[in-house]
Structure 1
Amino acid sequence: MPLVILAIESSCDDTSAAVCVDGVMLSNVIANQSIHEAYGGVVPELASRVHQQNIVPAVQQALINAKVSKNAVDAVAFTRGPGLLGSLLVGVSFAKAFALAKNIPIIEVNHMQAHVLAHFIGDRKPSFPFLCLTVSGGHTQVVMVKDYFDMEVVGQTLDDAAGEAMDKTSKILGLPYPGGPLIDKHARLGNPDAYKFPEPQIPNFDFSFSGLKTSILYFIRDNVALNSNFIAENLNDICASVEKRIVTILLNKLKKAADFYGIKDIALAGGVSANTGLRQGLQQMGDKNGWNCFIPEMQYCTDNAAMIAIVGYHKYLKGEFAKQNIAPLARMPF
């Protein structure tokens, strides 16, 4: 009999459901939330309320797209954390209720591990051990992946995440939410060498972006004081220069780790892995250093249930099931 996993992802503001059969992804439905655009960022209470509206239609559509009956589901995998507690609670509660009604097991999934294991969706997969640069709005990590569930964070941000630096820059520039894709869009049209921003000198494989954010803020403030139209006249070049510095910070640390461990299989994951400059930069660095680079499809970069499903599949094979009294964790150990 085929092994059918229904997966739920609700860690932030995207409600997602996916269906995986014998490790093959048959559907991946993502419902976005436009309500946060008016506030310039995710409002946790609003996010949890919209998750309640979206989760049943998302699950229903995922089952329809996969052409799978709800009665055929063998287990429900769900994001336990990390994430927004109210948002997580919606997904966890639905998963528990669905499984209880069908008398099937539930499988808890670490959101960050799922980003890494998204590389095992599809045919081309990295070989163990490999290094994964995991970059999002809340996390920036270099992860040594020794096996499916044997991972070690060998480098991480000491303060802010790379994605947050992009989001903060977009706010400073007056761009609408979400700003990350707009930074990417304008950067494609600009000169990445127009302006120079500092690279933090942080030891080992760790990162820091708080100083860079401050540098960008003062740069914009001082130039706008001299020319009120500075942003409008130089938007593309500013975005390109900021993006270049963030990408070089990330890739320089990744190369340092790859050289230290002598690893050639290098992967990229997380929401910021959708950034064009980072994707191109990794491929160029990989070509120069003889790396086998693994860059996820766009649909598996941002928060999605397919990555939860593939983790659920491998956990099911190991018999790792959760108890019905399990609770979500806003901060979940890697």
Structure 2
Amino acid sequence: MSPLNVYILGIESSCDDTAASVMLNGKILSNIVANQSIHEAYGGVVPELASRAHQQNIVPVVHEALKRANVDKSQLSAIAFTRGPGLMGSLLVGTSFAKSLAYGLDIPLIDVNHMSAHILAHFIDEEGFNKPPFPFLAMTISGGHTQIVKVNNYFDMKVIGETIDDAVGEAFDKSGKLLGLGYPAGPEIDKRAKLGNPKAFKFTKPKVDGLNFSFSGLKTAILYFIQKETENNPKFIEEHLNDICASIQYTIIGILIDKLKLASKQTCIKHIAIGGGVSANSGIRQALKDGEKKFGWTTYVPKFEFTTDNAAMIAIVGYLKYLEGDFSKNDVVASSRLKI
């Protein structure tokens, strides 16, 4: 029998977003994220700058999360935090803060795997969003990860396919950099892809056996394509930007959907869920919806605010582990390469 009211404070600091969320019995009361715009000038996340910004942001972000939720820290049942994977310096800030606060309040500490949290974000109680039944396939796509995971239950997950080189989010960002777009480039490519012809330019899909992915070759192909075309026409990018973006996005989505089709066929599972920052991409969301008609899938797309790095997904895992009595010792340490 579970306690009447379980208040979980979730803390997320795996990369460049400092986030805190307060949850009551699976429902989100607050979900605060502080972004770090300082990285835009560098075209990517600078780890040292990220960890310094976390140190500045974490106290005000946690304070704001408690304030918005109208919850006093004395009411908290446990504190959940991202143990990994992620940038080590960033993880250390969140881990140290969570351990100290839990110790000071004398309440349980719960460590959370960031990638599992992206998947379990689907189980946040949110009106209008269905929860996938077990077993289901989860595709987690972000700037640092691309995985297909077979999910048997909350705490039994197996990675059955992953990238052998670059993540899909990196492919979007590096392609955008070649086109002179800002960082992160994914949202801008998505926006321009809606205005372009997805079949204007053809890029070869990498051939990778099984359920694994590769995006390194695609990035190189796009680089050579841009170099060749701009030599012939210096204004090529300017004149064809929307079509280039549409063609790049079309190719990337095709790679993802092909692997999902194969995974669904091999496992005989037709419940498909997505998570991670790149799952905010409208083209990917539409392709999944189209898959319901084409392949008989039932697809699950999380609320937009739960796709990018956020603490609500950390809180839901914390809540589920709290009900199981699965707590961490205070000597738990951050792990930059933590596996599911």
TM-score by length of 1: 0.98
CA deviations over 1:82-120 (Å, ceiling 9, x no partner): 000110111011101111110111100000000010110
For 1:187, give the aligned amino acid: A
User: Do structure 1's residue 323 and structure 2's residue 329 form an aligned pair?
Assistant: yes
Answer yes or no: is 1:165 the counterpart of 2:168: no
Q: Which amino acid aligns with 2:242?
A: N
Unaligned runs of 5+ in 2: none
| Paired position in structure 2 for 1:79 | 82
Counterpart in 1 of 2:287? 281
Structure 1 segment 58-97 matched on structure 2, within 5 A: 58-97=61-100
Query: How much does 1:66 deviate?
Result: 1.2
> Within the alignment, does 1:29 sit opposite 2:35 as a pair?
no
Counterpart secondary structure, 2:48: helix
Q: Deviations over 1:51-100 (max 9, x none)?
A: 11111111111111111111100100000000001101110111011111
Q: Which residue of 2 aligns with 1:290?
A: 296
Show structure 1 runs of 5+ residues with no match.
none
Find out whether 1:191 has 2:179 as its counterpart: no
Deviation readout 1:244-302 (Å, 9 max, x if unpaired):
00001001110111112111211011110001110111111122222111001110110
Instruction: Choose the corresponding residue for 2:221, options 215, 230, 240.
Output: 215
Amino acid at match of 1:190: G
- Whole-angstrom CA distance in 1 between matches of 2:204 and 2:290: 22
Deviation at 1:207, TM superposition (A): 0.8
Residue 259 (structure 1) aligned to one of 259, 265, 275: 265
> Which of 212, 220, 245 is matched with 1:239 structurally?
245
Q: What's the CA shift string for 1:190-231, capped at 9, x where partnerless?
A: 110100001112111111111111100000010011111111
Counterpart residue identity of residue 89, structure 2 = G
For 1:286 and 1:95, locate their aligned partners in 2 and report how far apart those are by CA, in whole Å.
41
- Aligned counterpart in structure 2 of residue 180 of structure 1, from 177, 186, 192: 186
Q: Does 1:17 align with 2:31?
A: no
* 2:133 pairs with 1:127: yes
Which amino acid in 2 is paired with 1:297?
K
1:99 partner amino acid: A
CA distance in 2, matches of 1:238, 1:72: 53
- Normalised by the length of structure 2, the TM-score is 0.97
- Tell me the percent identity: 60
How far apart, in 2, do the equivalents of 1:290 and 1:69 lie? Answer: 47
Correspondence for 2:41: 38
What SS does the aligned partner of 1:194 have? Answer: coil
- Spell out, residue by residue over 1:7-55, the C-alpha distance to the aligned partner (whole angstroms, 9 max, x if none): 0000000000001111111111111011111111111111111111111
CA distance in 1, matches of 2:86, 2:43: 19
AA partner of residue 259 (structure 2)? K
Query: Would you say how many aligned residue pairs link Structure 1 and Structure 2?
Result: 334
* Structure 2 residue 14 is the aligned partner of structure 1 residue 6: no
> What letter is aligned with 2:42?
Y
What per-residue deviation string (whole Å, max 9, x for no partner) do you get for residues 165-207 of structure 1? 1011011111111111111111111110100001112111111
Query: 1-side partners of 2:297 and 2:291: how far apart?
Result: 8
SS at match of 2:82: strand
Superposition CA RMSD, Å = 0.8
